[in-house]
Amino acid sequence: WRDNGERDKRPKGRFRLYLDSVGLETFRELVAERFGPLTPDPGSVFDATPRSHYGIHQQKQAELNYAGLHVPVGRLKAEDFQDLASLSEGYGSGDVRLTEDQNVIITGIPSGQLESFKSDPLLQKFPLEPSHLAAGTVSCTGNTYCSFALTNTKDQALAAAAELDQELHLPEEIKIHWTGCPNTCGQAYMGAIGLTGTKTRGESGMVEGYDITIGGSQGANPQVGELHRKGVPATEVRAALKEILIEQFGAKPKAA
């Protein structure tokens, strides 16, 4: 793909498109030609279950701790970066680390500073312990800033999580990945629930919608999510998610 793919054309610079063009068998032959005969799959060399960094955790260094903060759908403004930098400089090492789930980690917090750190007002915006729904929600940029996206993923993901939090109790964190187009920067197929932006027909013409997949996972035995529903209008996604969470993930409606 590096040598023969159309990497100079951004819309076509995708490994999956190159694989479609040459075919799986030809690709295997090219790999074997470059690296030698292919051997049977030895199994996963990655046996760690993906874990949450939320909350306060001890570091290897004595009396030092790191804090995992939730950034709703990974949306950070310039002033947020400045505030997080000040938080880290005031309580920790001065480092701000980013996670693959779009959250932040503050390192090097002395144990004696923890209570003061936990009462800092910035943690109202970026909490240590978000709800299970908010905690597992990941989203690509969406059509606010990306010309490839077909849907406004971040705002729709935030609204859905907030509304469903009011209606449901989840027994554990559920990974819900939103992406605005088939390029899937939001890794929709790796979420327990994945939503891929599309256009679908509504009452007044074409509207924003999502294809919904279920069953994606990461870790030692990764799975690609399978299609559950196709072309769900964005206005109906919250109801679709509620149904899925209750029927397949053990969510319980909260008392009115």
140-194 pLDDT per residue, tens: 999 999 999 999 999 999 999 999 999 999 999 999 999 999 999 999 999 999 9
> Are residue 144 and residue 239 in the same domain, yes or no?
yes
> Are residue 10 and residue 62 in the same domain, yes or no?
no
**Is residue 43 situated within a structural domain?**
no
The pTM of this model reads 0.82
Using the 3D structure, point to which of 100, 129, 158 is the last residue of a domain: 129
Percentage with pLDDT > 70 across the chain? 92
Average pLDDT over all residues of the chain = 91
Q: How many domains does the chain have?
A: 3
**Is residue 48 situated within a structural domain?**
no
Using the 3D structure, point to which of 73, 98, 129 is the last residue of a domain: 129
> Are residue 116 and residue 177 in the same domain, yes or no?
no
> Are residue 149 and residue 236 in the same domain, yes or no?
yes
Using the 3D structure, point to which of 129, 146, 171 is the last residue of a domain: 129
The per-residue pLDDT for range 80-109, each reduced to its tens digit, is 999 999 999 999 999 999 998 899 999 999
**Is residue 47 situated within a structural domain?**
no
**Is residue 16 situated within a structural domain?**
yes
Helix or strand or coil: residue 90? Answer: helix
Domain that holds residue 165: 133-253
**Is residue 41 situated within a structural domain?**
no
> Are residue 111 and residue 218 in the same domain, yes or no?
no
Angle at CA of residue 121, ends 117 and 125, nearest 5°: 110
**Is residue 90 situated within a structural domain?**
yes
**For residue 121, with 0-12 CB atoms within 10 Å meaning exposed, 13-18 middle and 19 or more buried, which class applies?**
exposed
Question: What is the per-residue pLDDT for 111?
Answer: 97
d(CA 255, CA 114): 35
